[in-house]
Structure 1
Amino acid sequence: MKRSKEFKDVAEAMGRIDICMMQTVGEHGVNTRPMSNNGEVEYDGDNWFFSRSDSTKNEEIALDDRVQLTFADRDGMNFISVWGQGEIVDDTAMKKKLWQKDLERWFENGPEDPAVSLIKVSAQRIQTWGRMGDHTLELDSD
């Protein structure tokens, strides 16, 4: 994937944002919910989220993999929208790698719990607004 200055600015801004909004497509249209963003993971075009395996968002992604993520860094006055392909990942090693102690409040049995899955959103297009500038980045799918 090409690493432009704009992409590096996006990665840096995402690292400062704790919560984003995730939109998936369901039976009755678009569903939106807040999701915790792991700012400790260096952004490479993939966003990772922990989720309950039986959640509505997992079901929706299994049927329609279109996902949109929106981020707002009010302190830095940067706004980011990511359109991508969602995928449900059940990989205990990856869950352990991405695990943070704070997640225990939602997933009390830890990353080895089979009821816990990961959602991977692979960016296809990113738009930015604010101090980092108005940009549209088309990402390669490699």
Structure 2
Amino acid sequence: MSKDIKETFWKSLADSPYVMIGLTGERDHNIPMNAQLDKYANSAFWFFTSTDNRIAPGGPAMAQFSSKGHDLFACIAGTLRTETDRTVLDKLWNNSIEAWYEGGKSDPKLVLLRFDLDNAEIWTADASLKGLFKMATGLTMKEGELGQHAEVAL
């Protein structure tokens, strides 16, 4: 089950790469960010941000994700680090990112953060026919009748 749910997670994130992320242990609210994905890197994703953003210092972090169709939810633990490999920046750079940085790739406030993923809890909301019937009639639901849940290493 965990392999299937991991694959579903990555597909859902690629379809709508928006997460809420914050540094673990901080009392600041999490912020919305656009995850930059590399299909060959299944243990990390990246965020373009500015040096004055509250997540820019990096460190242990948590991200929350809800798929476009609200049929998959995830809470992802990992560590934010400054990405120093210029080839990664060049590979992920695109026009929608450039629109945010007046100085382009050389903007002094630009920082690329890599989110090294540790693990996640993932839930799917894919009710079985039996589960839908139970919900409609008020019968007691059993685990798995509304979807799946797994703790997975990413």
Shorter-normalised TM range = 0.7 to 0.9
Question: What SS does the corresponding residue of 2:104 show, helix, strand or coil?
Answer: coil
For 1:72 and 1:56, how far apart are their aligned partners in 2? 22
- Say yes or no: does 1:82 pair with 2:76: yes
Question: What SS does the corresponding residue of 1:29 show, helix, strand or coil?
Answer: coil
**Paired position in structure 1 for 2:35:** 37
CA RMSD in angstroms comes to 2.3
Question: What SS does the corresponding residue of 1:82 show, helix, strand or coil?
Answer: strand
Task: List alignment gaps of at least 5 residues for structure 1.
Answer: none
Task: Report % sequence identity.
Answer: 18
Once the 2 structures are TM-superposed, how far is the Cα of residue 22 of structure 1 from its aligned partner?
Answer: 0.6
Larger radius of gyration: 2
Runs of 4+ in 1 over 6 A off after TM superposition: none
Once the 2 structures are TM-superposed, how far is the Cα of residue 75 of structure 1 from its aligned partner?
Answer: 1.4
TM-score (norm 2): 0.73
Once the 2 structures are TM-superposed, how far is the Cα of residue 112 of structure 1 from its aligned partner?
Answer: 3.3
Once the 2 structures are TM-superposed, how far is the Cα of residue 114 of structure 1 from its aligned partner?
Answer: 3.8
Paired residues for 1:1-142 under 5 Å: 4-25=3-24, 29-38=27-36, 41-42=38-39, 44-59=42-57, 61=58, 65-75=59-69, 77-130=71-124, 131=126, 133-139=148-154
TM-score (norm 1): 0.79
For 2:153 and 2:91, how far apart are their aligned partners in 1? 28
